[in-house]
Copies of this chain bind each other. A is one copy, B any other.
Amino acid sequence: MKLLIVGGVAGGASAAARARRLDEQAQIILFERGPDVSFANCGMPYYIGPEITDRQKLLIVTPERLHERFNIEVRTQSSVEAIDRAAKSIRVRDLRSGREYVETYDKLILSPGAAPIRPPLPGLELPGIFTLRNLQDMDQIRAAVDAKPHAAVVIGGGFIGLELVENLRKRNVPTTVVELQNQLLPPFDAEMTTPIAQEITAQGATLILGDSAEGFVPHVSGVEVRLKSGRSLPAGLVVLGVGVRPESRLAVEAGLEVGPRGGIRVDDHLRTSDPDIFAVGDAIEIKDFVTGEPAQVPLAGPANRQGRIAADNACGRDSSYRGTQGTAIVGVFQRSAALTGAAEKTLRRSGRPYHKIYIHPANHAGYYPGAQGMTLKVLFEPQSGKLLGAQGVGGAGVDKRIDVLAMAIQAGMTVFDLEEAELAYAPQFGSAKDPVNMVGFVGAGLLRGDHPQIAVDDFLAQAEQSGGTSQALLLDVRTPQEFAQGHIPSAQNIPIDVLRGRLDELPRDRQIIAYCQVGMRGYLATRILRQSGFDVVNLSGGYKTYELFRPRALNQS
């Protein structure tokens, strides 16, 4: 068996090693356009910053290692120019010599990856404007940082953009991030990114949302970024992080099927429309595990697993890919944001019914020093309670809860199952009622009718419809001190501990929306009032959730 693999990073290198383990006799040749294979592309922002100091560490597996250990022939600086499907061969160009040659295959695995989008803007070719895809890009950006630029502009507030902002700030470069959308981290629902926006600005970066670059002109300090809004930002260094586009040219030219957004079409065995050609990684169109819809999700974990599965099938096994859940995380200074499964915006777009809840737990027992807060948002099916998606933002421990919820989504579990989850508790690590249990309690309470809730955005929409103030009575059950420090306009304050004695102050002819800081006291208020005959719901996640939708700084302006 002669197996050719195009692309030597995550998916391609995984496929090559897996194929060798399955078939000691196969001839395996790996082609890579760049000089490196299997490098740690997720680590690159941290080498531009101060965290990773040894560049060698980013070379996870060298061509020599792949050859010695796995008997894989690696041809770097070799660009695969064309596939001749009829002849089962590829045409390769050696970028050093310029020589072209043909290599035949029995099976072919494509792992060409995705290229950073370079929008066709005037001045894009000016020095000082970079994208970040490989170690050579990284070296250039790092050199630009070493030259102590007076300012940097990162265009695009996605995962890589924010990792760059963190690392540029840690190298003391004044940094502005410009994002086209009105939120950072577009895969997340907007309100969940509020703490990240606050963290970015608290760490001294400038944040411009809802704006984009129109062009670049030379400037005494390097380059000037012209924004659509009319603003202009002079910078010694500009990095474009506005997304990636599948490198599917080779596949398209070979007549392989490609999806509407350019991803190579594969079946659940990762086979393309040609049965001898497989494709993996950022270049393919995958099935969204939750919605079942086609999607493009450029992530390292799925790419690695796809490489294994494609190799299995290329070697004659029967191995299938369950789809991509889209579990991802980004660290931003002392905070992190993670998600898994479907976002609310995705569910809304596809018209799928859902419930959502918010909680604001601490990562571990409050009585043990160093507890850090987080916000979890969880989406689930209305009747069954089946989990559809989860997002977390906060300090330590967000990664753990999203991983646990990712497992629950994979298993098809419900909010009722989360009530019963038994997670490891000691005061440094969690709580006797873990945040995951709390998700279960709040979600199951909603479904059982014990704990009727209204989402903050639904409340805000209702209030807007009725001219700015809610028809319902807004009941703040926090202490007078908390109330004085900030509350939702028009709210009435009756602290939970005196509520039972003041029921006669409340209306029986209209709805009451109770709220507290995070939702716990609001829940108890809801229980008390419902059992006394009031029409009451709890504002899910309380004032803290309100502040995600209406951040204080914006509130005051």
Q: Using CB atoms and an 8 Å cutoff, list the residues of chain A in contact with chain B.
A: 10, 20-25, 40, 42-43, 46, 51-52, 57-58, 60, 68-71, 159, 163, 289, 299-305, 322, 324-331, 336, 338, 340, 365-369, 399-400, 402-404, 406-408, 410-413, 417, 419-430, 432-434, 436-437, 450, 496-497, 500, 521, 523-524, 527-528, 531-532
Contact = CB atoms under 8 A, between A and B. Distances in A.
Q: Which of A51, A71, A410 has the most CB of B within 10 A?
A: A410
Nearest to A302: B422
Contact of A369 (B52, B400, B412): B52
Nearest to A432: B300
Nearest to A400: B400
7 contacts: A58-B367, A60-B367, A69-B497, A305-B422, A325-B422, A404-B404, A411-B411
A22 B531 CA distance: 9
A7 B429 CA distance: 26
Contacts of A365: 40, 42-43
A306 to B, nearest CB: 11
A424 B327 contact: yes
B24 A527 contact: yes
A242 B419 CA distance: 32
The 6 closest A-B pairs by CB, nearest first: A411-B411, A329-B424, A24-B531, A57-B367, A300-B432, A400-B400
B324 A422 contact: yes
A426 B329 contact: yes
Contact of A403 (B324, B369, B400): B400
A497 B68 contact: yes
A399 B430 contact: yes
Contact of A411 (B22, B413, B424, B527): B413
Given A301-B425, A411-B407, A524 B21 contact: yes
B429 A399 contact: yes
A52 B421 contact: no
A331 B57 contact: no
A520 to B, nearest CB: 10
A43 B500 CA distance: 33
Given A400-B403, A430-B399, A424 B338 contact: yes
Given A58-B367, A300-B425, 11 more contacts: A22-B527, A23-B531, A24-B527, A42-B432, A46-B368, A69-B497, A163-B426, A327-B423, A329-B429, A407-B411, A411-B412
Given A43-B367, A426-B330, A532-B24, A410 B404 contact: no
A490 B324 CA distance: 47
A260 B142 CA distance: 68
Contact of A427 (B24, B42, B304, B532): B42
Contact of A368 (B52, B70, B303): B52
Contacts of A497: 68-69
Contacts of A338: 424
Contacts of A521: 69
A398 to B, nearest CB: 9
A422 B531 contact: no
A420 B323 CA distance: 9
B500 A420 contact: no
A417 B426 contact: no
Given A69-B497, A367-B52, A340 B301 contact: no
A68 B495 CA distance: 11
Contacts of A322: 420
A470 to B, nearest CB: 25
Contacts of A23: 531
Given A305-B420, A399-B430, A434-B301, A425 B57 contact: no
A55 B418 CA distance: 32
A121 B8 CA distance: 68
Nearest to A55: B367
A145 to B, nearest CB: 19
A304 B413 CA distance: 21
Contacts of A325: 422
A328 B424 contact: yes
A325 B428 CA distance: 20
Nearest to A289: B422
Contacts of A163: 426
